Amino acid sequence: MPELPDLEVYLEALRPRIVGEELEGLRLASPFLLRTVDPPPASFAGREAEGLRRLGKRIVIGFEGEFFAVLHLMIAGRLHWRPPGAKIQGKIGLAAFDFPDGALLLNEAGAKKRASLHLLQGEAALAALDPGGLEVLEADLEAFRQALTAESHTLKRALTDPHILSGIGNSYSDEILHRARLSPFQLTRNLSPEEMETLYRACREVLTEWIERLRAEAAGGFPEKVTAFHPAMAVHGRYGQPCPVCGSAVQRILYADSEANYCPTCQTGGRLLADRVLSQLLKKDWPKTLEELEARKRAG
């Protein structure tokens, strides 16, 4: 799922292409994409795009008259900039925003179509979509502490909850926790003041560094290869591969439709966190440390 760094780079690429330009038309290829009925898509034609912003993990295109097109790319949605009038691509194409100098296409790979488009009028309607999470790059340490400790959650849950922090998902939460050397299962209210500050700084460093990295990769063009699994990541998507800091094999925890990736040496004192599926299956045979895991691999 595109997260804060990916979305910021999308916005940077879109601003010089569409702000100040008139929308010639909005083409919809999937009836399931549009989640609103008023205002209708036709009412956006002829309106000038006045600005772009991010609302959590959503991209907001603002048009004159306080009309807003709000895109949530979900897991597999991606944006592409193509020549004017470009065709919507087969089964994966969902929509096209037609501007004089190009077409902004929304594609979504996979069978499950989860991406959404809300067409709204008025700031109040837009605000109703805001989950209210803290913008960590704009917040000070005390605001960050208050947001994380308002309720007791695991760090993984707190970082990815859009009502707590804005724009952070599965990928960058793994990277942040690795940078902070903290377990994804540690509770927010159990953090020491020093650990809270370390986590705050890790959030800001990781997000800023990845905005800069993705911006450099786009090199002034449109970002066409947005992915949750970047080869330069430290732990996310790197199960079984060596941690770039200590060399230990990266481990993972599977839960629901997602997973957490972590380095046991850097983050959990060498302990293996119990995967809900395998630990229930193996019970007492579940290895507790990296040493036990490696010994069992050799014995097997």
Say if residue 225 is in the same domain as residue 204.
yes
Domain finish residue from 127, 147, 162: 127
Q: What is the pTM of this model?
A: 0.91
CATH label of the domain that carries residue 77: 3.20.190.10
Percent of the chain with pLDDT over 70: 91
Contact yes or no for 49/21 (Cβ under 8 A): yes
Say if residue 175 is in the same domain as residue 254.
yes
Contact yes or no for 117/95 (Cβ under 8 A): yes
Per-residue model confidence (pLDDT) at position 289:
54
- DSSP symbols for 23-90: P-EEEES-TTTB---SS-GGGGTTPBEEEEEEETTEEEEEETTTEEEEEE-TTTEEEEEESTTPPP-T
d(CA 219, CA 117): 28
Confidence of residue 258 (pLDDT cuts 50, 70, 90): confident
Say if residue 97 is in the same domain as residue 166.
no
* Helices then strands, each counted (H, E), the chain: 9, 10
List beta partners, residue 68. 62, 120
User: What integer best gives the mean pLDDT of the chain?
Assistant: 92
**Cα 122 vs. chain centroid, distance in angstroms?**
26
Tell whether the model's pLDDT for residue 276 goes beyond 70: no
Per residue in 106-136, pLDDT tens? 999 987 889 999 999 999 999 999 999 999 9
Say if residue 148 is in the same domain as residue 176.
yes
Q: Cα(first)–Cα(last) distance of the chain, in Å?
A: 36
Spatial CB neighbours of 103, under 8 Å, sequence gap ≥ 6: 81, 82, 83, 84, 85, 86, 96, 97
CATH label of the domain that carries residue 280: 1.10.8.50
Confidence of residue 277 (pLDDT cuts 50, 70, 90): low
Per residue in 7-38, pLDDT tens? 999 999 999 999 999 999 999 998 899 999 99
Per-residue model confidence (pLDDT) at position 243:
98
Say if residue 123 is in the same domain as residue 139.
no
Bond into 264 cis (ω within 30)? no
Contact yes or no for 55/136 (Cβ under 8 A): no
Per-residue model confidence (pLDDT) at position 300:
44
Say if residue 18 is in the same domain as residue 101.
yes
Say if residue 46 is in the same domain as residue 147.
no
Number of domains in the chain: 2
Domain finish residue from 127, 156, 175: 127
Per-residue model confidence (pLDDT) at position 295:
44
Say if residue 227 is in the same domain as residue 243.
yes
d(CA 40, CA 84): 23
Say if residue 74 is in the same domain as residue 35.
yes
**Cα 166 vs. chain centroid, distance in angstroms?**
9
Say if residue 256 is in the same domain as residue 184.
yes
d(CA 105, CA 88): 7
Per residue in 158-186, pLDDT tens? 999 999 999 999 999 999 999 999 999 99
State mean pLDDT over 192-217.
97
Q: Which domain holds residue 95?
A: 4-127
Say if residue 75 is in the same domain as residue 155.
no
Domain finish residue from 127, 153, 181: 127
Say if residue 119 is in the same domain as residue 139.
no
